[in-house]
Amino acid sequence: IDLCRSYFLTITLQRERDDFSHQRLAAIRQTLVHYQVPEGDHSGSWPPDQRWGRSGGRISSTALASLSLVDE
């Protein structure tokens, strides 16, 4: 998973108003929720084990994932 890519893709798809864009946004949202830590000390965050997370850490990963979870 590339959270930086997800963030910029989300911004781009939000500007479109077609069915394809809505389907892609829903798929991104579903993928992000799947990777969210469900319980424990890091509950609600995203692990830093993705492409840019190693340099930005858990806070960076969680920020990018949160910004990518948009309402249509």
Per-residue pLDDT tens digits for 53-69? 778 899 999 999 999 99
Residue 51 has pLDDT above 80, yes or no: no
- Kindly state the average pLDDT of the residues 4-9: 93
The confidence score (pLDDT) of residue 26 equals: 94
Q: What are the structure tokens assigned to 60, written together?
A: 């960076």
pTM of the predicted structure, to 2 decimals: 0.84
- Kindly state the average pLDDT of the residues 32-56: 90
